[in-house]
Structure 1
Amino acid sequence: MLQFIRVIAASLAMITVMAMVAGAAHALEPVSVNGDVDAIDLLPAVESYSSQGDRIQIQTAPGADGIVRRIEVRSKQPGTNPHWIVFALANTTDEQIDRIVVAPHFRLVGSGLVWPDLGASRIAEITPSQGFQPERQDDDDADVFRVTLDPGSRITFVAELRTAKLPQLYLWDPDAYKDKVNSLTLYKGIVLGIAGLLALFLTIAFVVKGTAMFPAAAALAWAVLAYLAIDFGFLHKFLAIAPDGDRVWRAGAEAVFSATLLVFLFAYLNLNRWHVRYSVVSALWLVALAALVGLAVINAPVAAGVARISIATLAVVGLLIIVFLAFYGYDRAVMLIPTWTLLLGWVAAAGLTIMGHLTNDLVQPALTGGLVLVVMLIGFTVMQHAFAGSAFAPGLMTDSERKALALTGSGDVVWDWDVPADRIYVSPEADQLLGVAPGALDGPASGWLDLVHIFDRDRFRTALDAVIDQRRGRVSQDFRIRAADGHYMWLNLKARPVVGSDGEVVRCVGTVSDITEQKTAEERLLHDAVRDNLTGLPNRELFTDRLDTALTFAKNDPSIKPTVLLLDLDRYKQVNDAVGHSVGDSILLTVSRRLSRLLKPRDSVCRIFGDQFGMLLLSEPDPERISAFAEAIRRSLRAPVAVADREIFLTASIGVAIFDPQAPVKADELIKDAEIAMYHAKKIGGDRIEIFRPAMRVERPDRSTLEADLRRAIERDELKVLFQPVVHLQDRTIAGFEAIVRWEHPKLGRLPPAEFTAMAEETGLIVDVGLFVLDRTARQLSIWQRLVEVDPPLFGMVNISSRQLLRQDLVQDLKAVMARAGIERGSLKLEVSESLVMENPEYAAQILAQLSDLGVGLAMDGFGTGYSSLSYLQRFPFDLLKIDPSFVKPNGRGRPVILRSIIGMAGDLGMEVIADGAETDSDAEELGQLGCQFAQGEAFGDPVTAEEARRLIAGPVRLRA
């Protein structure tokens, strides 16, 4: 049985070999090669073979001895089924001949309309029947192989194809091919240069005159320039493109060219004004072409085929539309007929070329030059139309006419004062503006003074007198004038004197414009700056200013005892969510009116923010009367508020802070005391009145209240950023600062980060807090770097949390912060804890690499307290290593050894070291001797404010340990 199987296998192998031999070519007729011809077309002498496995057997051309031999060639990739071609060359001379075989990657001729051939590498390898293997030459546009033919030799060549299509195959003399490439390169450079200048010119013209046709023409010119750059192979000079990547770019360029041609036709002919169907069809067509650009990545031939059909369709349909509109006398269409006719001719020639009817080698360069010519004519057409209007025609309008038109267009009123006759003339528009009878404003200047507001008369009179007395200058005066209905309007007078031959002012001529809206807007802005937009009450800034003034008087007058009442509506958020924001605003308006009715003339009420109101009480110095007043407020607020068909009951928590002459405080402190009392009232149930006691400052709020306070901390400017100095151990000068955030809590006072960062991390508020600290640090760092120029520049360090590091927007946030601040690259450093990095080292490595590329410095915080490995540490782009205080403080005999090891390892990794926790001068000396570059701690000062930090670095004073 085994013997039978072997026999069968041998028979099948024999049959396969016989089939291959039977399918192999008969002896080839070699192409004669001599030195008289520069190029030989090998395609007619080529025999092609379809896929026959990864090897092929052929009969060679008869040798010089007349013997026909058989050779077998294997493909470069075993197991593939490539296509093959075979040709033979014969050297009929007595000398050795060097030639090159050239197969272009892309050839427009015969590329096809549907599923076009967009080019690719054609030949993978050429195997000769004898001699050396042909050497592939470097060429971006063709597969080029150098072959050497010995005298009298006949060599058969087997070429393995990468694709089934071989549009052209030539045997070139190397020098002749070089001359051809050089001349063609020169031609391409000239055409590409013209196209580039044309695109740039149209772009500049668009900037100068921004009509819609200019950007459309410029886009078309840039699309043609991109197409030529791809077709000429210039794209390889700038981009690393895969061998078959030209197909995608070529298809995308043809789709973009079609799209820009459509946009130009639509914009130039202004088709949207003729019929809406033009806009709809153009929009759908443009969307389809945009989809082709994406399709080019998936299937380039299909995208290119559709784009070519679109170009041909657009040329024909465009000509029909142009002729149709020209028939109705549309100027733009008439001017475009010659250019579009030439475009149609170019499309026809391109169609004949891709269909294989025009095969000359000069066709493709001629078509590229013709395309540039078409775009150039389009540019000339656009320029002719755009600059042929009367506005650009010289000599058609005098200077006085231009000024008259400009004055009419501005809407200003002519104001002319005949000084000797004391008569003012204004154009009739002024009468209409003020609603007075025609000519009522014409007359002596004193008549105008009667209409000008009494507060503006002296200024108006003084301005006119000054011009007459000085005989020069300009009048620019804002004043109010009474209209016919009695209300006042704001006018602006701009005028200048006209001096006669005797040196005296004979006229004062100018314009008057209505600036009532502008003045109203300014008054509104001023009002909004100190008033609440909803209730019209003073805001916190104005309230604080009034309280500060009252406290100043109270220092000199014992009878004045300012009292601050701060009230916050209980459960207002739930009410607002239940009834809607518009009803909620109505409730706030009702509350403001009720509070205002309780006040006396000397008292004030303001809206702090949201549902919180403040009251300044000056009319009641007696504590009992103050308590009664607060109770009256509480009862007034408890009255139901009628909204639509329902009644809403409100309560409020009221905090009272009474001024104590024995312990004077500032306005902010008194408001803060009232706020502490108000929060105390809210904490114990609400609907209460609490008078501030110093003991309230030490009572801690619950977690939910602390979270709510932190949400408002940034808005209230309660977060403060302090800066702890970092010094050079070598000379004890300032190297930078570490940013440390403190919370100035209205009730608890200053809170360090440890007391609120954990809660902020859990609730997500750490993102807002961290971004706030980053922005403040970057701004201060920019100020310091402008103040002191040192090398390396001063740096600032900010600690970031895990929630910040894991955010996708961290890189963008840092980019925006650095752009606003304008700081030196690498001077803003982020401190990332060792444990945080090791939670997800792979993701952390990616984020840290992006931050490093952005120009952000990176410092590993708390090194030695985690469990990082040296292999991971080498992957992270840290430039600073911050040693944990536990290793810096003296704690045993092994401390110098550990510190020396850490510092040495950091130096080997190219990182600098900061020692955190230097407490004494001896610590600093020892750290410097061990090779540590920077240190921070009690030895160099506690965290300071930004102003104190500026003073530290502004002068020559150095920190002392």
Structure 2
Amino acid sequence: MPPHILVITDDDDNRELLIRLLQSQGQQVTVAADGQEALEHLFRQVFDLILLDLDAADPDVRGVETLRQLYQYATVHSILVAVIADARDLDLIARCIELGADDYLLKPFHEVLLRARINALLERKAWRDHQRAFPEESPRAPADAAEGVAPSVSGILLFALLDALRHAWRDQRRIITEFQALEAQIAERSAAAEHAALALQQQTITLRAILESLSDAVVVVDREGSLVHANLAAHTFFGDRLLDVTPQATAPALLNTNGVPCSTDQLPLAVALQGVEVDSSEFLLASVDPDAVRRVRVTARPLRHSNGDMIGAVAIFRDITASFQMAEALRAGEERYALTVQATGDGVWEWELRTGTITFSHRWKEMLGFQDQEIGNHPSEWFNRVHPDDQDELDVRLTAYLRRLITSFDYEYRILHRDGAYRWMRCRGIAIWDADGNASHIVGSQTDITDRKLVEQCLWHHAFYDSLTGLANRARFIDCLGHVIARARRRASPPYAVLILDLDRFKLINDSLGHLVGDQLLIAIARRLEQSLRPGDTLARLGSDEFAVLLEDLSEPHAAVNVAERILHSFEEPFHLNGHEVFSSASIGIVLSNDLRYHSPSDVLRDADTAMYHAKMEGRARYAIFHPAMHDRARLRLQIETDLRRGIERNEFFVVYQPIIELSTRQTVGFEALLRWRHPQRGIVTPAEFIAIAEETGLIVPIGQMVLREACCQLSEWKRQHPERTLAMNINLSPRQIADPDLVNRTAALIDEYRLDADTLCLEITETAIIEHGDATGRVLQQLRALGVRICIDDFGTGYSSLSYLHRFPIATIKIDRSFISQIHRSHENTEIVRSIISLARSLEITVIAEGTETEDQLIRIRSMSCTYGQGWLFAHALEPAEATAMLDRETENPD
């Protein structure tokens, strides 16, 4: 009989891999999603081995409690237990070994090693069973084995046997140790190779994107001079003459600046292929039209292999025609400018370099608040008044201009006014050169640009700071983060971390209390966040209700967790805004710099946002640290969204119907329409796997329209087939559907189209939809009730504690959540909750349906509490339309 293995995991990929691998070895496999289901299998079947995925257990105890329960049973029945965990969870694995686990398997799986480890466990199980069946053959009873042998012989055999066993155990432990080391080495090298391949691929994509985005023309040739690559700018600039700038040109397209055509070996790429670098040389690009000649600046470099061999050359061509013409025009106008500047309101100065004296115009002195006689003609009168932070740069620029290292002198700086304040000035100067090329004079002007600078500072603040909270905005945060990333990549530096905070239920507060209170809340949160951070930390509002924190120079990476906990703690106190006491919370995503090496701020923000979304999905008001595996979940969500859109187009969705039973007669009084997805690859998919994504993306609206129409059509058909029966149809509505402005009109149109009695249509909504969207939802429910449609509260008892909406809204039916019904025989508390709900509903003349009725015992209990209707597997699973029709036919033929 083949070995029987129980696999406990809720991970689809792990489950499919293990089933395929085990069944390929002829082993029998049973799968359980959690510890409870596993115990049920253990009570009914015999197993040789249990594989427990620790991620399938309660996240708070990480599988320890599940292992304890399984170990008690496994020990009694001689079943081996191996735990499955991530390689980083070594502490957890050690804990499980202490609790009795026989072995462990590491994720991600390596199939060869996994198969070997499982086979070794099964062999150990077989040996243990053999020992239990034939104890007289066990090496642990050497005295028994030696019975009947002469004492001396028996002693010799005994010691020899024990010595052999010791050697065997040592060899076995050595093999296991070497095997585990090999497994770790293979996993490490596989991960490194995969990471290197991904990094190389990303670098290639990035480099190509950079080349194509350059405005300069880039041309690459091989060592023979043949064209290898040219970017888009090169094709645009050279057109059909692109080959004429390469060493293979028959008629070179370039001329020197004197207009003389270049020979082929004078072309920059040809020079580079000779091993000579070309630095910023200027050429003319030939044209039939003399007025269309372009001026280009070329830089060319040889390309060499790591061994030094020449493999080609690259050249970068920049069109400088416009800038050259502008420079020429500027030189031509400099003299005219020097004459006309005197007619402006600028202060003019002239510096005689040979004597070192400087003359300031009356306007120049007046701009600083002085009279003519109050300022002398020494340069110190000028430079000593310049702001200390600007003096060095002013000196560097003047020196560079006089040495002709730059073509013009133009600098903006601050200078001290007589009133003690600094004014912003723009200073420009033109030198007069002697026959030797040395500057003899500089003539220049000074313009007061203080007002412009104030405007620029204001614009800069608006561009980089949030106008509501005064915090840095997204652009400023990205700039700061970019500097931190660049610094971290240049040299070893202390860790940094980025936190993304998204406020929970901010839209509800904004919509219910108004945008003024919403803005005040954002301001108050900004101030509270500032109090939770260090002075050097960067806090920004990225937009709407999203904030970001940049933590630099951390003592250790996980110090960011302390900050996140401090922030979450700060939200525990209410905000008092315009007479309202408002409670808010935040979901936080954390990226730690030591976990991944980032290249750009967008990558960091993407991962922090992914972690934040993960925290929100885990229940809000918490933090989550980014892990690369989160990308897999994000990609899965994106794939599901894509498949949902295609599924709508391809009509892959269909409706099944679960009967609603009158408990006293066990007759069907209605059905609940339930959505299913016939996925082309995954088969039948239940709503639990995709409904949240459909709701988030808004795709639930067209899907819900399809369900509503199909259910109305089916109800009409049953009404035609069984006119003697009054059947109801329950249809679920999501918050997005309730917010659809066409819902009421569409429902009315379907009632008319299929000639239904409106009160046979019952629309189910959740408590959360009512509470979080109270007023808006209430108006829609009143309109639906005006049509005659009945309203049902689904999963009653799992939402908010307030029951006031039972009075405020037109509720006709409530469904007691299955979690209460399933525990009714186990918990006195649950029994009393169900009894109270039924009693409350009866007093309000509200019909009650017990969801999830699965056993006769549950049926007896809820009937004793005067519950009228039930729904669950005890009566029927969700049925295809034909199966539901057949069920109605049977009930009609046999009413008893």
Same-fold status (TM-score > 0.5): no
Higher relative contact order (CA 8 A, sep 6+): 1
Larger Rg: 1
- TM-score scaled to structure 2, two decimals? 0.29
- TM-score scaled to structure 1, two decimals? 0.27
